[in-house]
Amino acid sequence: MQAAENNIGQLVVRRHVRAQRERVWRKQDLDPLHHGNWQEQEAWINRKDWTPKDVLELFYDHDVIDCIAENTIRNARQHGNHYFTVTADEIRVHLAILYQSGYVQLPR
Helix or strand (DSSP H, E) at 85: none
Predicted confidence pLDDT, tens digits, the chain (108 residues): 444 444 444 444 455 556 677 888 888 877 666 556 656 666 667 777 888 788 888 888 899 999 999 999 999 999 999 999 999 999 999 988 888 888 777 887
Kindly report the pTM of this predicted structure: 0.53
Longest alpha-carbon distance in the chain: 71
DSSP labels, 2-50: EEEE-TTS-EEEE---PPPPPP-----PPPGGGS--HHHHHHHHT-S--
